[in-house]
Amino acid sequence: EAFDVMVVGSCMTDLVSQAPRLPKAGETIHGHKFFIGFGGKGANQCIQAARLGANTAMVCKVGKDFFGDNYIQNFKDNGVHTGFVGQASDAATGAASIIVNDAGENVIVIVAGANMLLGSEELQKALPAITHAKVLVCQLEVSPQTSLLALRMAQENKVKTIFNPAPDIPDMDPEFYSLSDVFCCNETEAELLTGSSVANLEEAHRAGQELLKRGCASVIITLGPQGCVVFKAQESDPKYVPALAVTAVDSTGAGDSFIGALAFYMAHYPTMPLEEMAQRANRVAGVSVQAVGAQTSFPFKKDLPAQLF
């Protein structure tokens, strides 16, 4: 079986509290709603690609616990292949404590748990599938060595790669740049990676050119409600792709919705210009910010305008 999109990455159980604002250090505040949801950047991206119609497989590790069992069922419910989903008996399923304020902004602490046990052994088992996939997607919620190895496997076999350097880690291995067909990050990650402010379009242009110079074939910097900027190594002019204005309820996972959609377009429309894919992915992610939670807010193909397909 050949997959359109394979994701080597994380699964987290999201423990979400909605509160009027984010608390300060040492402060306790009242929130108004609590819920548990399926999250983790890797799984979120995979689920979004699947909901748009991609044939997907997830390579990940959860715990042998209630959350892990539930997570595997969630993949099945969304039509994601689970043959490469492992269950560790010596670590818990990853968890993310999330607080969302009334402006739809969030803070997140993740405890990766079983995600950190995903390693070369699991990748070797998935290798035949990875080499036949159309697109491979990685992030930084599993061990960076695991992400590097997966990206190398893909690149050696001419499988298109999307790398999302999230959450940002200090001293990221520079090999990640040359392993990325599309290096996709948000403004905060771009700031950390380049060491300079990314607060407006002009600064985003400078940061994108700098990341390109480090060896990526293309770079996308997402700018939240402002859309994104697309940079290609063979073209000198970056393309600014504005987003439609929407009322944000919860932006958790919006970046993942964007990347999952991008992976879907790269697999299904390989000759479409990257800026066109980015513009469509913006539309998909724009739907996700209008509802609470990560995966709970990700649209299905049937919910979206036909011109996106």
Minimum distance between the CB of residue 18 and ligand RIB, rounded to whole angstroms? 15
Q: Is 252 in the site for ligand RIB (CB under 6 A)?
A: yes
One symbol per residue from 196 to 215: x for binding ligand RIB (CB under 6 A), - otherwise; what is it? --------------------
Choose among 79, 91, 83, 148: nearest CA to 115: 91
Q: What stretches of 150-217 adopt beta strand conformation (E)?
A: 160-163, 182-186
Q: Which residues pair with 13 in a beta bridge?
A: 38, 95
CB of 94 to ligand RIB, least distance (A): 7
Of the pair 9, 208, the CB lying nearest ligand RIB is at 9
3-class secondary structure per residue, 3-54: CCEEEECCCEEEEEEECCCCCCCCCCCCCCEEEEEEECHHHHHHHHHHHCCC
Total residues interacting with ligand RIB, rule: CB under 6 A: 15
Cα–Cα distances in angstroms (integers) from residue 278 to residues 8, 11, 22, 282, 285, in the given order: 22, 25, 31, 6, 10
Query: From the list ligand RIB, Na ion, none, which binds 297 (C-beta under 5 to 8 Å, kind-based)?
Result: Na ion
> Residues 253-292 vs ligand RIB: string with x where CB under 6 A?
x-xx------------------------------------
Q: Restricting to residues 120-159, which ones interact with ligand RIB according to CB under 6 A?
A: 141
Say if strands 239-241 and 56-63 run parallel, antiparallel, or are unpaired.
Answer: unpaired
Nearest CB to ligand RIB, comparing residues 108 and 304: 108
CB of 97 to ligand RIB, least distance (A): 9
Select 39 or 238, whichever has its Cβ closest to ligand RIB. 39
Q: How many angstroms separate the CA atoms of 162 and 180, rounded?
A: 6
- Residue with smallest beta-carbon separation from ligand RIB: 39
- Smallest gap from Cβ 232 to ligand RIB, in A, equals 25
Q: Is 100 in the site for ligand RIB (CB under 6 A)?
A: no
Regarding beta strands 160-163 and 33-39, do their DSSP bridges make them parallel or antiparallel, or are they unpaired? unpaired
Closest distance to ligand RIB from the beta carbon of 181 (Å): 21
Question: Any idea what DSSP says for residue 133?
Answer: -
Write down the residue that tokens 């539930």 correspond to: 70
Q: Is 68 in the site for ligand RIB (CB under 6 A)?
A: no
Say whether residue 9 binds ligand RIB (CB under 6 A): no
- Calpha distance 174→196 (Å, rounded): 17
Q: Which is nearer to Na ion, 115 or 297 (CB)?
A: 297
DSSP 143: -
- Residues lying near Na ion in the complex (CB under 5 A) are found at 250, 288, 297
Find the Cα–Cα–Cα–Cα dihedral 214, 215, 218, 219, rounded to 10°: -20
- Asked if 41 interacts with ligand RIB (CB under 6 A), we say yes
Minimum CB separation of residue 38 from ligand RIB in Å reads 8
Q: Which of these is catalytic: 65, 181, 250, 256?
A: 256
CA triple 202-174-144, angle to 5 deg: 110
256 an active-site residue?
yes
Residue nearest to Na ion (CB): 297
Tokens 């067909």 found at = 181
In the complex, the residues that contact ligand RIB under the rule CB under 6 A are 12, 14, 39-41, 44, 96, 108, 110, 141, 252-253, 255-256, 294
Residues annotated as part of the active site: 256
